[in-house]
Structure 1
Amino acid sequence: MSAPVSERPPRRAAQETGVATDSPPPLPSADRSFFGHPRGLPTVFFTEMWERFSYYGLRPLLILFMSAALADGGFGFERSQASAIVGIYAACVYLASLPGGWVADRLLGLRRAIMLGAVLITCGHLSIGLSGFAVSKVPFFLGLVLIVLGTGLLKPNISAIVGDLYPEGGARRDAGFSIFYMGINLGAFFGQIVTGALGEKVGWHWGFGAAGVGMLAGLLTFAARQRSTLGNLGTEPSRHPDPVIDARQKSRGRMILFGGLGVLALVFALAATGAVTIDAQAIGRSMTYVLVGLAVVYFAGIYATGNLSSDEKKRIAVIFVLFVFASAFWGAFEQAPTSLNLFAKDFTNRTFFGWEVPALWFQSINSLFIIIFAPVFAAVWVGMAKRGMELSSPSKFTLGLLLAAAGFAIMIPAANMIVASGGTLKVSAWWLTISYLLQTLGELSLSPVGLSSMTKLSPRKYVGQMMGIWFLAASVGNLIAGLVGGSVDPEKLEQTPVLFTGTTIALLASAAVLGALIIPIRRMMANVGDVKA
């Protein structure tokens, strides 16, 4: 899926820092009791699988529910507003990973952060599920806020636990992350199948409830297995050697954390009481400008004052280029839960043998293709490298942009056929299926490569921050996708081909610009160690 896996360098176990604990001894790095992998891998695999089941099961259901008429049990929102809300929600999920990792590092430790995150997500789904019995929208949006906070605590830190299971690094660690990534896509695939069937065929809140049950299963899995399978890993936050300084840092951290939560609670209360009017489109646009501005300022600052060598500055410049084009890719790709989801609902013939397939089932196509083609791409990249034909990171990014452009280009004639029919035609499901196939191939060309490039190109002291930049690119992309994704509307047919055409042109232009930069980037990186740019 589009959610990149966060990986942080392994940290020392608690007993190595001299912290007393009653937990079982840490697992030896040579543990191979689970088919050659540590026995803690199934714990994090299934926890993450169920968390992704809940996240991807809920996200595409949101726009269908919010844009549904009041008579159909929805909120009756304009599609542009509903799509913008989905974009803001997804963007905030990625952004929350940054403070979530910081809270785990400084205050809670990985394990407590994961547990608290799972509890918050479960409560969030419960709030959304129960909102069907409320006379206001407050429980629904409170649930989204809780899910954002919980995902920020769980998502980056459970990925860090995976890294900690393999302190020796190497190929076994890469294989462990590949297995973990498979859990993400299994959860995403089945989550959308289950919530789509229940949400669209039985009732919206049944779908929401199913997503919540999935997260509860993840919470119970982690709670039951963590002690016996993870040993001391992630039980303690990092500590400063000087106890006085450590206490001061933690006190300051708590003040910042509770201050931020207080501001969030105040804003939510003002919006809930109607004291402040929320315009999702305006907020989404403002957030996009702010996040892009922050990225530019950050890169300029680190370039000017980061005490970097000449080679490190070149690497930072390459990371900035990849950040820009990753944002463009995600801005198109993340239209899956908005524009393409609406296209499946309104304009796609979903009837098979007399039964109408839920629109959300089309969201699972990407996960299925990832499961099928991820091993193929890994083998292709390795094979090309052995033959001296390895593509550089910008080349793979360019390929990803071109494949995504092809995925949207194929939707243009389908949209034009619908416009020509006056909205009476419903096109074959193959249009969306082929589009998702091409976009998935683009994702496999770009997403894992981008994650790897962040770790390879980053100066060692900035690796964690560069991983945050990768999350920021996904966040910006989700905002862009949310802002444009509501243009698919049966009452405004002409908007649909315009959207798909504009997205295709933007992707092709991005690919052309990046393609033109491949050779200059290679020259720039010619003297930078063994990094393949």
Structure 2
Amino acid sequence: MSELELTKVPSDERGFFGHPRSLATLFFLEAWERFSYYGMSAILLYYLYDRTSDGGLGLDKPTAAALVSVYGALVYMSGVLGGWTADRLLGMRRAVLLGGFLIMGGHLALAVPGGLPALLVSMLLIVLGTGLLKPNVSSMVGELYAPADHRRDAGFSLFYMGINLGAFVAPYLVGTLGQQVDYHLGFGLAAVGMAAGLAVYTRGRKSLGQAGDAPTQALQPGELRQVVRRSTVGAVVVVVAVVLLGVVDSLTVQTLINVVSVLAVLVPAGYLIMMLRSSHTDPVERSRLIAYVPLFIGAVFYWVVNEQSGSVLAQFADTRTDLRIFGMAVPSSWFQSLNPVATLLLAPAFAWLWIKLGDRQPATPRKFAVGLLLGGASFILMAGPGLLNGVHETASPWWLVASYFIVICGSMCLSPVGLSATTKLAPRAFLAQMMSLWFLASAAAGGINAQLVQLYRPETEVAYFAGVGAAVMGAGIVMHLLTPWVRRHMGGVK
């Protein structure tokens, strides 16, 4: 079949804004899942450092910010397990369903006033659930399109709108309920959102056809015994390590932060090496993986900035920003909606642009370079309030508005494009796991941020924003210079 024939779209495949009807099911599932996650994220930092008399846990601000970063890193690191489970055991479709139920249980755990133990139970359930759901639902989107279908990037941009639709609504509902009424009621509303997503997915699963229905590389009986044996050994090692840390009185929050920071960097490196060395990866796929390495590193730099919206920027909104807008006092959690608001405004324009340009659109690494330059610029801008008025005066909310707008312009050049590139460059045997690797870029950024955000305080504010922003812009320049090399190794993929 020719490439021209592959790009022709049957009329029954144009049911959702010119895309397959089944994209609607995944769109709304992801919208509700992101509503639950970003609703929880909108109030998590404040819940951690708010006074116990006001319903919080009373942690100091640097530790609270580091824990938020650790939470995010663990969520994305669990995508490795979720991708492997889909590829080898359950298939993507069943993995998504199980993940949704675990996420809902995690939010319900936070809805109970159980203090630190409830937080740990919630972290475990949400980490495991998101690892099963997040990479696999994105991989299923890629399965809806033929390899040469030019709608693929636009489809991921539309899917990305679903992500941000849920993230946009969540701070206004969950944030307001959590900050102005009760934190635990806010977490409960996040659980209701995930339940709605599960209802949409269950009802629309038949529209997905065969996409994600079976494992791409199912375990054989002998392999299953080996997996059980290795898992048992791993569990024993973890238990022994925890016991030893307790014996030497090192079982602390800071130890958790440090361990996750190291693992967040080592796990993706090990994962890439494993796929490169696998006998299931042919020479062309291996070349594409090599091309993927600088894209992955660039994504880590970008997410270092973007993933601080729930930690440093949330703290800036709460402690450094004038919370009166047009004469009305607003909760600080509302600023978490700026990221998805900008995305909802910009995503249709960028989706239209990529379709309009067709084969003339910039190469993937060139888009990444632009995204990094804009991401870094958004943080350099945030050094402005401290430089102009000092760090002890409240800043205009428009600084945050402008910063979010710039960083999302960068995201439009990197995030949906990265999702699409991941599905195109993935070895067939590691389709779901490759999407897990993409999300490990966010995990690595979260691990790095767990250390970085502890440096943020009033006296370091200007240097912090300027330094981090400059580093990310530097990565954008390097990506621009590497573009010809990356394209040569992409094995014909555009």
* Same structural fold, with TM-score higher than 0.5 when normalized by the shorter chain: yes
Q: Is the 8 A contact 1:239 1:246 kept in 2?
A: no
The corresponding residue for 2:36 is 54
Q: Distance in 2 between matches of 1:227 and 1:316?
A: 32
Q: Distance in 2 between matches of 1:402 and 1:37?
A: 31
The corresponding residue for 1:150 is 129
Deviation at 1:527, TM superposition (A): 8.0
The corresponding residue for 2:385 is 414
Deviation at 1:321, TM superposition (A): 1.8
Aligned partner of residue 140 in structure 1, secondary structure: helix
Deviation at 1:278, TM superposition (A): 4.0
Q: 1:418 to 1:54 in 2, by over 3 A?
A: farther
Q: Is the 8 A contact 2:62 2:454 kept in 1?
A: yes
Q: 1:267 to 1:108 in 2, by over 3 A?
A: farther
In the alignment of these two chains, the number of paired residues is: 485
Q: 1:259 to 1:176 in 2, by over 3 A?
A: farther
The corresponding residue for 1:507 is 472
Deviation at 1:331, TM superposition (A): 1.1
Q: Is 1:336 matched with 2:304?
A: no
Q: Distance in 1 between matches of 2:147 and 2:282?
A: 28
Aligned partner of residue 395 in structure 2, secondary structure: coil
Q: Is the 8 A contact 2:135 2:439 kept in 1?
A: no
Q: Which amino acid aligns with 1:348?
A: T
Q: 1:257 to 1:364 in 2, by over 3 A?
A: farther
Deviation at 1:267, TM superposition (A): 7.6
Q: Is 1:472 matched with 2:446?
A: no
Deviation at 1:265, TM superposition (A): 7.8
Q: 1:182 to 1:236 in 2, by over 3 A?
A: same
Aligned partner of residue 170 in structure 1, secondary structure: coil
Q: Is the 8 A contact 1:31 1:37 kept in 2?
A: yes
Q: 1:463 to 1:217 in 2, by over 3 A?
A: closer
Q: Distance in 2 between matches of 1:430 and 1:340?
A: 13
Q: 1:256 to 1:57 in 2, by over 3 A?
A: farther
Corresponding residue to 1:494 among 453, 459, 467? 459
Q: Is the 8 A contact 2:101 2:129 kept in 1?
A: yes
The corresponding residue for 2:109 is 127
The corresponding residue for 2:6 is none
Q: Distance in 2 between matches of 1:301 and 1:119?
A: 30
Q: Is 1:373 matched with 2:373?
A: no
The corresponding residue for 1:453 is 421
Q: Output one character per residue of 1:378-401: Cα deviation in whole Å (capped at 9) or x when no partner.
A: 333455566x5x433333222212
Q: Which amino acid aligns with 1:112?
A: R
The corresponding residue for 2:25 is 43
Deviation at 1:495, TM superposition (A): 2.0
Worse overlay, 29-38 or 277-286: 29-38
Aligned partner of residue 119 in structure 2, secondary structure: helix
Deviation at 1:334, TM superposition (A): 0.9
Aligned partner of residue 494 in structure 1, secondary structure: helix
Deviation at 1:325, TM superposition (A): 2.1
Q: Distance in 1 between matches of 2:349 and 2:363?
A: 18
Aligned partner of residue 334 in structure 1, secondary structure: helix
Deviation at 1:476, TM superposition (A): 0.5
The corresponding residue for 2:293 is 320
Q: Distance in 2 between matches of 1:460 and 1:233?
A: 14
Q: Output one character per residue of 1:496-515: Cα deviation in whole Å (capped at 9) or x when no partner.
A: 22211221221233233334
TM-score (norm 1): 0.80
Q: Distance in 1 between matches of 2:463 and 2:229?
A: 48
Q: Who wins on radius of gyration, i.e. which is larger?
A: 1
Deviation at 1:174, TM superposition (A): 5.1
Q: Is the 8 A contact 2:291 2:489 kept in 1?
A: no
Q: CA RMSD in A?
A: 3.5
Q: Output one character per residue of 1:229-268: Cα deviation in whole Å (capped at 9) or x when no partner.
A: 446654544576xxxx833334444555576677778888
The corresponding residue for 2:4 is none
List alignment gaps of at least 5 residues for structure 2: 1-9
Q: Which amino acid aligns with 1:408?
A: F
Q: 1:30 to 1:163 in 2, by over 3 A?
A: farther
Q: Output one character per residue of 1:394-435: Cα deviation in whole Å (capped at 9) or x when no partner.
A: 332222121112111111121234536xx2x21111100000
Deviation at 1:190, TM superposition (A): 0.6
Q: Is the 8 A contact 1:405 1:503 kept in 2?
A: yes
The corresponding residue for 1:288 is 261
Corresponding residue to 2:329 among 326, 334, 356? 356
Q: Distance in 1 between matches of 2:32 and 2:95?
A: 17
Q: Distance in 2 between matches of 1:259 and 1:477?
A: 29
Q: Is 1:393 matched with 2:364?
A: yes
| Aligned positions of 1:204-219 closer than 5 A | 204-219=183-198
Q: Is 1:522 matched with 2:484?
A: yes
Q: Distance in 1 between matches of 2:187 and 2:418?
A: 32
Q: Distance in 1 between matches of 2:281 and 2:80?
A: 23
Aligned partner of residue 111 in structure 2, secondary structure: helix
Q: Is 1:442 matched with 2:410?
A: yes
Deviation at 1:302, TM superposition (A): 6.0
Q: Is the 8 A contact 2:175 2:186 kept in 1?
A: yes
Q: Distance in 1 between matches of 2:125 and 2:423?
A: 30
Aligned partner of residue 322 in structure 2, secondary structure: coil
Q: Distance in 2 between matches of 1:401 and 1:220?
A: 37
Deviation at 1:364, TM superposition (A): 0.9
Q: 1:385 to 1:505 in 2, by over 3 A?
A: same
Aligned partner of residue 77 in structure 1, secondary structure: coil
Q: Which amino acid aligns with 1:509?
A: G
Q: Distance in 2 between matches of 1:478 and 1:419?
A: 29
Q: Is 1:105 matched with 2:81?
A: no
The corresponding residue for 1:91 is 73
Q: Is the 8 A contact 1:106 1:253 kept in 2?
A: no
Q: Distance in 1 between matches of 2:428 and 2:94?
A: 27
List alignment gaps of at least 5 residues for structure 1: 1-27
Aligned partner of residue 427 in structure 1, secondary structure: coil
Deviation at 1:210, TM superposition (A): 1.3
Q: Distance in 2 between matches of 1:106 and 1:524?
A: 30
Worse overlay, 400-409 or 228-237: 228-237
Q: Output one character per residue of 1:74-118: Cα deviation in whole Å (capped at 9) or x when no partner.
A: 111122211121111111111111211222333233333222212
Aligned partner of residue 142 in structure 1, secondary structure: helix
Q: Output one character per residue of 1:288-317: Cα deviation in whole Å (capped at 9) or x when no partner.
A: 334434444555666678698887665444
Q: Is 1:433 matched with 2:401?
A: yes
TM-score (norm 2): 0.85
Q: Distance in 2 between matches of 1:83 and 1:105?
A: 34
Deviation at 1:437, TM superposition (A): 0.6
Q: Output one character per residue of 1:318-376: Cα deviation in whole Å (capped at 9) or x when no partner.
A: 32222222211111221111000100111111113543211121111111111111222
The corresponding residue for 1:10 is none
Corresponding residue to 2:167 among 188, 191, 199? 188
